[in-house]
Amino acid sequence: MKDNTSWSCFCFSLKLCLLSILFLTETVVAIKLPPNLKIPALIAFGDSIVDTGNNNNVKTVVKCDFQPYGINFQGGVPTGRFCDGRVPADLLAEEVGIKSVVPAYLDPNLTPKDLLTGVSFASGGSGYDPITPKLVAAISLQKQLEYFEEYIEKVKNLVGEERKNFILANSLFLLVAGSDDIANTYYDLHARPHYDVDSYTTLMANSASDFVNVSFSLNIYIYIYIYIYHIPYLYFLLFKPNQLPKIQ
């Protein structure tokens, strides 16, 4: 006999997969949670697609703290998001009823409530290839996981072990990366000259697998939805004249 809760979670997972595709094609969609499913927090890892301001607090050439970034955000001020308004992490968090804005973990104004409902560890310029974040001094996926372990301890100190476990066991986890690997590391900067497309994408896939395996070791695999988005559309970013990375 089919377990109703598991079936509801499965159906909801399919809806979220569809929702992620619709976000990337700039389509607005509403999603309704099953009545017995409550998501307490959204946690994002990856690159600029879900970076909500971490790079503001990192010495990296990949910055978006200038206009026209943020012109359609609250107050029209650049927030560190690589767009004119909100990023997919914000939109998805709102759609599933968590909150309308997902703050950056490194935001100095982060509050306890922010921690309990989710943050973004993502960093513009990061990627699956370990070389990718090094080229621009972005936060690597490995370092993002280290920050996540730190985050777990903070949540535990705030609400205790039992509630911490509940939050981790019922939250939505996003991993969005790959565009910087392909556009910058592989094609633009030719930082992997001995790799063809097949071998390089295999390297990326193995890195993504390693990331998920490490997350499993942190005991966050039970009832957790981890979506590894397909590589987002490559797009143009606005750089100040002296911010373009170079390979010597």
Active-site residues: which are they?
48
The full length of the chain comes to 248
CA 70 to chain centre: 18
Residue with tokens 């100190």: 157
Which helix H or strand E contains 176, and what residues bound it? strand 172-176
Q: What is the DSSP letter of 225?
A: E
Q: What is the DSSP letter of 117?
A: H
Q: What CA–CA distance (Å, rounded) separates 217 from 215? A: 5
Q: What CA–CA distance (Å, rounded) separates 248 from 239? A: 20
Which residues are CB-contacts of 165 (< 8 A; sequence separation ≥ 6)?
none
